[in-house]
Amino acid sequence: MTAVLGFGGYVPERVMTNEDWSRLVDTTDEWITSRTGIKERRFAAEDESTLDLSEQAALVAMKDAGLNPDDIDEIVVATDTPEVYTPDTASLLQDRLGCRNVPTYDLGGSGCAGWIQAIDVARARIAFEPKKVLVVGVELISRLISWEDRATCVLFGDAAGAVVLGPGGGKATLVDVISGTDGSKADILTLQTGGTRHPFTVDSAAAGDHQRLDMKGSEVFREAVRRMSSVTLDLLERLDKDIDDIALLIPHQANKRIIDAVGQKLGIADERVFVNVDRYGNTGSATVPFGLWEAYEGGRIQPGDLVVLTAFGAGFHWASAALQF
């Protein structure tokens, strides 16, 4: 069984409130809160980058695991906002941490489900060859969104979360992971400019196309609720568990309406559903690992607890994982 040896998380210091946004775009605190449940979010400082956020979360996770850089055998980073186009952020993180010569790779494009997919890949690697794998979920979205589109700019924040996985021992066991994809729904959430079909050009940059997130909100809502609920139930069935066995559900923090709808569909009590979207907004691939770290650090998780993670993301992807503490 794959074990979680350590947890880590990091958010930048800068707080961006709804009132701050109301001075920049045509919106209000009431409008944002009523539709999303978000009150504030964190934005990276001008001298902070995706690599910096990744490093801070990784250091916390390694310290929690009692490990040094030489103890890490592999690094995986899940992100849709990489440090640079190439090389991968994980390679740069390897050098920053001093984990010399270990294999690294990024998982990108899966949106907010990316980190759960990443731990699934890591556990397969550990099963094949026992090793310690650092798995980071990170997004620095504030630099890539349009600050003029009030429908999307108010949703996002910057953060990083991390775990160190290993072949045994540790603080929790990664019991199982399930994931799926429906590529026919890819068009409901896209950022198209920058690939080979819609490459960067002077004209596209001037038009702000590289910052235009195309989102069919009502369809995303329906698919998110349906898929996160169903994959959670599929996971429980495979484990021969039911909803009452879940001590804490940590869903992707897209917005409060989606979180509430998933909880209602599953029939799980509000107090057993973790929520921090009100304080950090949607931090993409970082929401689940950062939420897991915050719940762990805050005493929301106790020995013997079954913790279930669930997420959805552009693609359209969905994933769920079970941790036994």
Could you read off the pLDDT of 26-69 as tens digits, one per residue?
Answer: 999 999 999 999 999 999 999 999 999 999 999 999 999 999 99
Provide the pLDDT for residue 206.
62
> Phi and psi dihedrals of 40, rounded to 5?
-155, 165
Give pLDDT, residue 184.
Answer: 92
- DSSP-derived secondary structure for 16-82: EEHHHHHTTSS--HHHHHHHH---EEEE--TT--HHHHHHHHHHHHHHHHT--GGG--EEEEE-SS-
Q: How confident is the model at residue 111 (pLDDT cuts 50, 70, 90)?
A: confident
Structural domains of the chain in order of their starting residue, each with its CATH number:
2-170 (3.40.47.10), 175-324 (3.40.47.10)
As a dihedral over the C-alpha atoms of residue 20, residue 21, residue 27, residue 28, rounded to 10 degrees, the angle is -30
Res 145: pLDDT = 82
**101 has catalytic annotation:** no
Give every CB contact of residue 317 below 8 A, 6+ residues apart in sequence: 110, 111, 113, 114, 117, 179, 180, 181
Predicted local confidence at residue 216, as pLDDT: 78
Residue 252 annotated in active site: yes
pLDDT confidence of residue 110:
83
Question: Can you name the residues that pair with 22 across neighbouring β-strands?
Answer: none
Mean pLDDT of the 105-111 span = 89
pLDDT at 211 over 60: no
State the catalytic residue, choosing from 18, 252, 255, 317. 252
Mean pLDDT over all residues of the chain?
Answer: 93
**pLDDT value at position 193?**
65
pLDDT digits (tens, 9 = 90+) for 278-305: 999 999 999 999 999 999 999 999 999 9
pLDDT for residue 109: 80
Look at 126 and 85; give whichever has higher pLDDT: 126
- The residue that leads in pLDDT, 150 or 158, is 158
Eight-class DSSP state of 193: T
Range list of H helices, the chain = 18-22, 29-36, 50-65, 89-97, 114-128, 150-153, 202-207, 217-238, 256-266, 277-280, 287-297
The token duo for 114 is 């990316």
Distance CA 210, CA 135 (A): 28
Residue 149: the pLDDT is 80
Q: Which residues, including other chains, have CB under 8 Å from residue 188's CB and lie 6 or more apart?
A: 215, 216, 219, 220, 223, 316
pLDDT of amino acid 310: 99
Residue whose C-alpha is closest to residue 269's, from 249, 254, 289:
249
Residue 177 corresponds to which amino acid? V
Element (H, E) at 164: strand 158-166
pLDDT tens per residue across span 231-267? 999 999 999 999 999 999 999 999 999 999 999 999 9
Residue 192 has a pLDDT of 66
The CA radius of gyration of the chain, in Å to the nearest whole number, is 19
Bridge partners for 138 per DSSP = 160
Of the candidates 18, 99, 112, 255, the residue annotated as catalytic is 112
CA distances from 272 to 51, 197, 296, 306 (A): 33, 44, 14, 11
Q: Note the pLDDT of residue 288.
A: 99
What percentage of the chain has pLDDT greater than the value 70?
94
Q: In which residue are the tokens 């001093």 written?
A: 98
pLDDT at residue 47, as a whole number:
97
Q: Which of 262, 299, 254, 310 is nearest to 278 (CA)?
A: 254
Tokens of 313: 């993301």
Work out the end-to-end distance of the chain between its first and last CA atoms, rounded to an integer number of angstroms: 13
Q: Provide the pLDDT for residue 256.
A: 97
Which has the higher per-residue pLDDT, 187 or 112?
A: 112
Tens digit of each residue's pLDDT (9 = 90 or more) over 154-210: 999 999 999 999 998 899 999 999 999 999 998 877 776 667 776 767 666 666 555
At 315 the pLDDT is 80
Catalytic residue at 282? yes
Contact assessment for residue 186 and residue 314, using Cβ atoms and an 8 Å cutoff: yes
pTM, whole model, 2 decimals?
0.95
Which band of pLDDT confidence, cut at 50, 70 and 90, is reported for residue 152?
A: confident
Q: What's the confidence (pLDDT) of residue 148?
A: 79
pLDDT at 174: 98
The residue written with tokens 């909803």 in the block is 243
